């Protein structure tokens, strides 16, 4: 990599690292005037997702008067940068004519222009990977770039969803024009690929980082027949059945100039939810001391799960990062964004790692465990709290029973909210729907004995935010139940299971179809084509529209949303089916997260991980409807991340 390219990569890494991006909320040219604090000693600021307060040196202050909260959009945490910059004594100016923001801190000046990838630090041009954008009157700016240009450090705690910004007492002016002198950083991509998918990603990593490539080749290559996992007598099945005795002999494990590398990307295909055992010999017999090791894999549908962790456990040497999973059609942009987020020395960064979303899990499906997992999220709902669930189609649907969810709904003083159905049935009109609610005793646990059918007074149209990832949304506006505007926070309480049209239903379906008015449901089902019929649209556009609609609701509620999926009664059919098929698998547990994409992905992975034929019909239902495309698109538009850390709360 040339020095110039490295320098750009450094700025890019700062700009797009997935932990911190800026959110401004200003409407005037008002410079900050008096600063809240003068930066005469080290200052520490913390901001938490969904929390309208931040702490400045331990003291809680409002972020601003309009209740702005940090939110996660597009896998990035958007912070109220005005508050941050002003809290440390800096100023913020907005020039509406040129759509330029000027941030000043001590002697440093940053200028950023909406929709431009060129930023200026002390008049030196820098290239950003992500353009600053205005979404709903708010200007999104890359805070990490800003913070690190000003010599602040930024840390992210995925468990508490908190960003900590440390402002040193002696913040010095960085010399933005200085070349990256980290020429000693060197990377190598070591990989095995049976059918060239992983090789494609390895090549993209090498292209972007300038790393060398090294392929691990079995002495006896795998033929197509060897790879047939459906054949009990194939080589992979036999090896998999006897993993303790499976050693795949490689042509060589000696990477030339091994000592010269300080970053090692290691890749393989996922075989039965784990990194292919073909690379085990290399991992077990290689000394990674002093090296940062970055696992990556490709798979058809499985997420990363614990596979990278298991791989790292095969050695005691090296600093192993979380790793990343790619699909069969990984793009240059996806690979580059991931590498930038790693902030590795070899790509010019400082060596901190990015975080996957946290998903909590308990196998205990009880009222107590439901409350416990909610508490674990540390969510502080504000104002009127909506609890979105399915009221369940009579007579026999698997809707979440009041005995299970009542304690949680009461604890948060929540109003159960729902919308009428678009397909007929017993809940397509408010009066009938209210009778079902009574029959299902959901009114007994909802605030003031009232379950709000949010579209009883029609629709409200809310915009789908423009994805900052550069991806396109399929629908641009969403018709939700008009009463959504009566709520300030929302808990998505979904029953995870199959679905006749979407393949599966979890958080994203609950937040989109579930909150859509009848007109909104028709628009989502048809990818924006029909206002009055839910039938006959393009399947993938339908799946994509669910992510778009979810994104609009999250945006409307300023990100004050958390998601819980209950994995019981795992039928192939939804709660909108009054006579769902009997499940062919056991109950799994309750999962919760701030990230609907990570949450649904984790649930799907748990279904896929079932053994002995359990869940075969559900997997079949999901795949026959291309259900995973929901997550592909949702991740693409930045609704959340398909990578996650599953944290058990069971003792």
Binding-site member from 89, 90, 142, 269 for ligand FMN (CB under 6 A): 269
Piece of the chain touching ligand FMN by CB under 6 A; list 118-126, 188-196, 514-522, 624-632:
188-196
Ramachandran angles phi, psi of 57, nearest 5° = 50, 45
Piece of the chain touching ligand FMN by CB under 6 A; list 178-186, 191-199, 373-381, 405-413:
191-199
Piece of the chain touching ligand FMN by CB under 6 A; list 135-143, 299-307, 545-553, 574-582:
299-307
Is position 196 an interface residue for ligand FMN (rule: CB under 6 A)? yes
Closest contact distance (angstroms) between CB of 259 and ligand FMN is 28
Closest contact distance (angstroms) between CB of 270 and ligand FMN is 4
Q: Which is nearer to ligand FMN, 462 or 598 (CB)?
A: 598
Q: Which is nearer to ligand FMN, 199 or 548 (CB)?
A: 199
Is position 227 an interface residue for ligand FMN (rule: CB under 6 A)? yes
Closest contact distance (angstroms) between CB of 603 and ligand FMN is 15
- CA-to-CA distance for 285 and 292, rounded, in angstroms? 16
Closest contact distance (angstroms) between CB of 199 and ligand FMN is 6
Looking at the DSSP bridge assignments, the partners of residue 649 are none
How many of the chain's residues bind ligand FMN (CB under 6 A)?
A: 21
- The first and second tokens of residue 72, run together, are 């996660």
Q: Which residues, at least 6 apart from 245, have a Cβ–Cβ distance to it below 8 Å?
A: none
- CA-to-CA distance for 303 and 298, rounded, in angstroms? 9
Closest contact distance (angstroms) between CB of 306 and ligand FMN is 13
Is position 299 an interface residue for ligand FMN (rule: CB under 6 A)? yes
Binding-site member from 160, 273, 319, 384 for ligand FMN (CB under 6 A): 273
Binding-site member from 236, 304, 557, 570 for ligand FMN (CB under 6 A): 236
Closest contact distance (angstroms) between CB of 31 and ligand FMN is 53
- Which strand (E) or helix (H) includes residue 388? strand 385-388
DSSP code, position 600: H
Length of the chain as a residue count:
651
The three-state secondary structure class of 648 is: strand
Q: Among 139, 141, 138, which residue's Cα sits nearest to residue 128?
A: 141
Binding-site member from 43, 51, 198, 347 for ligand FMN (CB under 6 A): 198
**Number of other residues whose CB lies within 10 A of the CB of residue 174:** 14
Check: CB of residue 308 under 8 Å from CB of residue 297.
Answer: yes
- The first and second tokens of residue 239, run together, are 């090896």
Closest contact distance (angstroms) between CB of 632 and ligand FMN is 13
Piece of the chain touching ligand FMN by CB under 6 A; list 128-136, 192-200, 496-504, 507-515:
192-200
Check: CB of residue 525 under 8 Å from CB of residue 499.
Answer: no
Binding-site member from 26, 105, 271, 360 for ligand FMN (CB under 6 A): 271
Q: Which is nearer to ligand FMN, 203 or 529 (CB)?
A: 203
CA 243 to chain centre: 33
Piece of the chain touching ligand FMN by CB under 6 A; list 64-72, 135-143, 195-203, 625-633:
195-203
Closest contact distance (angstroms) between CB of 198 and ligand FMN is 3
- CA-to-CA distance for 425 and 427, rounded, in angstroms? 6
Binding-site member from 126, 180, 185, 301 for ligand FMN (CB under 6 A): 301
Closest contact distance (angstroms) between CB of 646 and ligand FMN is 16
Closest contact distance (angstroms) between CB of 269 and ligand FMN is 3
Binding-site member from 128, 165, 188, 194 for ligand FMN (CB under 6 A): 194
Q: Among 649, 645, 646, 651, which residue's Cα sits nearest to residue 322?
A: 645
Q: Which is nearer to ligand FMN, 163 or 628 (CB)?
A: 628
- CA-to-CA distance for 95 and 225, rounded, in angstroms? 64
Q: Which is nearer to ligand FMN, 243 or 461 (CB)?
A: 243
Indicate the burial class of 357 (C-beta count within 10 angstroms; 0-12, 13-18, 19 or more).
Answer: buried
Q: Which residues, at least 6 apart from 205, have a Cβ–Cβ distance to it below 8 Å?
A: 189, 211, 265, 267, 296, 335, 339
Is position 298 an interface residue for ligand FMN (rule: CB under 6 A)? yes
- CA-to-CA distance for 111 and 520, rounded, in angstroms? 40
Closest contact distance (angstroms) between CB of 326 and ligand FMN is 8
Q: Among 568, 635, 583, which residue's Cα sits nearest to residue 76?
A: 635
Closest contact distance (angstroms) between CB of 119 and ligand FMN is 37
What is the DSSP track for 311-339? Answer: HHTT-S-SEE---EEE-TT--HHHHHHHH
Piece of the chain touching ligand FMN by CB under 6 A; list 37-45, 77-85, 95-103, 187-195:
187-195
Binding-site member from 8, 154, 270, 278 for ligand FMN (CB under 6 A): 270
Is position 195 an interface residue for ligand FMN (rule: CB under 6 A)? yes
Sign of CA dihedral 374, 380, 385, 386: negative
Q: Which is nearer to ligand FMN, 302 or 421 (CB)?
A: 302
Binding-site member from 38, 300, 461, 581 for ligand FMN (CB under 6 A): 300
Which residues, numbered 316-335, are part of the site for ligand FMN (CB under 6 A)? Answer: 328
- CA-to-CA distance for 149 and 123, rounded, in angstroms? 13
Closest contact distance (angstroms) between CB of 609 and ligand FMN is 9
Is position 476 an interface residue for ligand FMN (rule: CB under 6 A)? no
Q: Which is nearer to ligand FMN, 137 or 224 (CB)?
A: 224
Q: Which is nearer to ligand FMN, 270 or 588 (CB)?
A: 270
Q: Which residue has the tokens 């809240």?
A: 36
Closest contact distance (angstroms) between CB of 256 and ligand FMN is 22
- The first and second tokens of residue 183, run together, are 């020429």
Check: CB of residue 151 under 8 Å from CB of residue 482.
Answer: no
Binding-site member from 55, 272, 439, 471 for ligand FMN (CB under 6 A): 272
Is position 602 an interface residue for ligand FMN (rule: CB under 6 A)? no
Closest contact distance (angstroms) between CB of 353 and ligand FMN is 24
Binding-site member from 7, 68, 193, 641 for ligand FMN (CB under 6 A): 193
Give the strands of the sheet with 644-648, arranged side by side. 452-453, 414-418, 385-388, 489-495, 561-567, 589-593, 357-362, 644-648
- CA-to-CA distance for 346 and 524, rounded, in angstroms? 44
Binding-site member from 149, 263, 302, 641 for ligand FMN (CB under 6 A): 302
Q: Which is nearer to ligand FMN, 269 or 506 (CB)?
A: 269
- CA-to-CA distance for 408 and 412, rounded, in angstroms? 6
- CA-to-CA distance for 557 and 487, rounded, in angstroms? 8
- CA-to-CA distance for 110 and 237, rounded, in angstroms? 58
Closest contact distance (angstroms) between CB of 200 and ligand FMN is 8
**Number of other residues whose CB lies within 10 A of the CB of residue 343:** 23
370-372-375-381 Cα dihedral, nearest 10 degrees? 30
Residues at the interface with ligand FMN (CB under 6 A): 193-199, 227, 229, 236, 269-273, 298-302, 328
């Amino acid at each position: 990599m040339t020095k110039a390219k490295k320098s750009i990569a450094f700025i890019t890494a700062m700009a797009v690292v997935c932990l911190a991006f800026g959110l401004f909320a200003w409407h005037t040219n008002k410079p900050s005037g008096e600063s809240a604090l003068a930066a005469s000693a080290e200052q520490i600021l913390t901001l938490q997702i969904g929390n309208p307060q931040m702490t400045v040196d331990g003291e809680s202050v409002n972020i601003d008067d309009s209740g702005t909260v940090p939110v996660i959009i597009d896998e990035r945490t958007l912070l109220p940068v005005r508050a941050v910059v002003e809290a440390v004594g800096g100023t913020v100016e907005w020039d509406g004519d040129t759509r330029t923001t000027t941030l000043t801190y001590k002697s440093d000046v940053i200028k950023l222009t909406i929709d431009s990838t060129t930023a200026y630090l002390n008049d030196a041009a820098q290239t950003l990977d992500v353009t600053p954008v205005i979404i709903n009157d708010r200007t999104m700016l890359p805070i990490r770039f800003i913070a690190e240009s000003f010599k602040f450090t930024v840390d992210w705690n995925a468990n508490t969803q908190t960003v900590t910004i440390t402002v040193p007492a002696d913040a010095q002016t960085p010399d933005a024009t200085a070349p990256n002198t980290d020429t000693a950083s060197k990377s190598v991509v070591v990989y095995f690929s049976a059918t060239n998918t992983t090789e494609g990603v390895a090549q993209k990593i090498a292209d972007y980082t300038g790393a060398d490539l090294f392929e691990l080749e079995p002495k006896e290559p795998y033929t197509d027949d060897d790879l047939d996992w459906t054949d009990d007598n194939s080589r992979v099945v036999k090896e998999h059945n006897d993993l303790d005795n499976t050693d795949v002999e490689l042509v060589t494990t000696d990477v030339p100039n091994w000592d010269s590398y300080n970053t090692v990307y290691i890749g393989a295909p996922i075989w039965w939810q784990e990194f292919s055992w073909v690379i085990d010999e290399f991992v077990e017999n290689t000394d990674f001391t002093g090296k940062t090791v970055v696992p990556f894999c490709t798979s058809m549908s499985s997420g990363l799960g614990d596979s990278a962790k298991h791989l790292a456990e095969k050695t005691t040497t090296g600093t192993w990062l979380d790793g990343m999973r790619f699909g069969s059609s990984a793009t240059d942009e996806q690979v580059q964004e991931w590498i930038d987020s790693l902030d590795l020395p070899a790509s010019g960064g400082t060596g901190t790692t990015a975080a996957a979303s946290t998903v909590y899990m308990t196998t205990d499906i009880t009222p107590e465990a439901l409350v416990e997992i909610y508490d674990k999220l540390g969510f502080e709902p504000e104002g009127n709290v909506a609890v979105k669930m399915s009221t369940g189609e009579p007579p026999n649907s698997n809707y979440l029973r009041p005995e299970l969810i009542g304690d949680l709904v009461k604890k948060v003083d929540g109003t159960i909210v729902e919308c009428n159905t678009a397909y007929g049935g017993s809940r397509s009109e408010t009066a009938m729907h209210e009778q079902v609610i009574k029959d299902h005793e959901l009114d007994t646990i909802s605030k003031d004995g009232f379950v709000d059918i949010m579209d009883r007074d029609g629709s409200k149209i809310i915009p789908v935010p423009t994805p900052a990832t550069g991806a396109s949304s399929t629908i641009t506006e969403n018709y939700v139940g008009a009463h959504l505007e009566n709520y300030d926070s929302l808990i998505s309480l979904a029953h995870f299971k199959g679905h006749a049209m979407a393949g599966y239903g979890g958080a994203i379906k609950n937040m989109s179809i579930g909150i859509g008015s009848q007109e909104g449901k028709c628009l989502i089902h048809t990818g924006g084509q029909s206002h009055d019929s839910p039938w006959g649209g393009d399947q993938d556009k339908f799946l994509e529209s669910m992510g778009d609609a979810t994104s609009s609701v999250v945006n409307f509620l300023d990100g004050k949303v958390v998601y819980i999926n209950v994995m019981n009664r795992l039928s192939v059919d939804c709660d909108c089916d009054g006579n769902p098929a009997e499940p062919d698998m056991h109950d799994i547990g309750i999962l919760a997260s701030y990230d609907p994409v990570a949450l649904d992905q984790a649930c799907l992975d748990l279904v896929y991980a079932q053994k002995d034929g359990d869940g075969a019909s559900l997997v079949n239902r999901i795949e026959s409807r291309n259900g995973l495309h929901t997550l592909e698109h949702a991740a693409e538009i930045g609704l959340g991340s398909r990578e996650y850390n599953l944290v058990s709360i069971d003792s």
